[in-house]
Amino acid sequence: MGALLLAVALIQDACGGEAKRLADAQRLGESFDLAGAAEAYSAAVASGCSEARAAAIYVRGLIAARAADAQFGSTASLQPLREAISALEPYAAADPVARAMQAVVRAAMPAAQHERGEMALLIDEMLRRESLQLEARLPGLPVISAHEAAGYFWLQLHLYDEAARAFDAARSRIGQTSHVMLGAARAAAGRQDVAAACGQYNRLVSWWGIRPAAPPEIVEARAFVNQRQCAAPPVPPGTRR
């Protein structure tokens, strides 16, 4: 999680008076509230923190990407993604982090249309851009890193082995974030690896703790771990239930 915290810290250095809003944006994103994170970044921009504008555009692009996937990549659903790519262009020209943001939003378009070949090429590009930043001890992307986004894109295509590898890479590069736990759990469930899915969902539930509200992702995790198969003891090899 260090790279994401560094991304927040660098924006805070330029926008010290908006530190709370920026920290709120990161916290909301980790809690699966992307709309809240985008609003927090936008509020910081409205208060004079222009450095948060690219992050606000990026997170709104992630929201648009999910909507586009739900609409099977229709022409109308892709328009907000095109607008986000264009809006990021002035920042991408000067900032490598913004270029990585733009690459993620670009990859979201073939992901929504289930165009595997084009998506894979764009995933490689966005991971390369973020990896250069991480290797230079510079920030990854805010709220959802390119490495985490790659796993989510593979999940959209129901390619669970690829998704599992992507979330393993994200864990190694970014850390055991909430998005890594959720994505790894979904990938394991898709592969019918019940033990791994139970373990990852359990980690996510434990991380959430006793917070009063529960977003759909936490409801999903709790429902999974409450299944009998997660409570049952492991079956020794060669035996039957």
Answer whether 139's CB lies under 8 Å from 4's CB.
Answer: yes
pLDDT above 90: residue 196? yes
Residue-range definition of the domain harbouring residue 124: 2-176
Phi, psi (deg, nearest 5) at residue 233? -70, 155
Q: Is residue 90 part of a domain?
A: yes
Q: Is residue 72 part of a domain?
A: yes
Q: Is residue 148 part of a domain?
A: yes
Q: Is residue 140 part of a domain?
A: yes
Average pLDDT (199-206) is: 98
Task: Specify the pLDDT at position 233.
Answer: 58
157 or 239: whose pLDDT is higher?
157
Closest CA to 99 of 121, 131, 69, 73: 131
Task: Specify the pLDDT at position 241.
Answer: 43
Q: Is residue 55 part of a domain?
A: yes
HSE of 211 in the Cβ direction (CA atoms, 13 Å)?
Answer: 12
Q: Is residue 223 part of a domain?
A: no
Q: Is residue 59 part of a domain?
A: yes
pLDDT above 50: residue 19? yes
Number of domains in the chain: 1
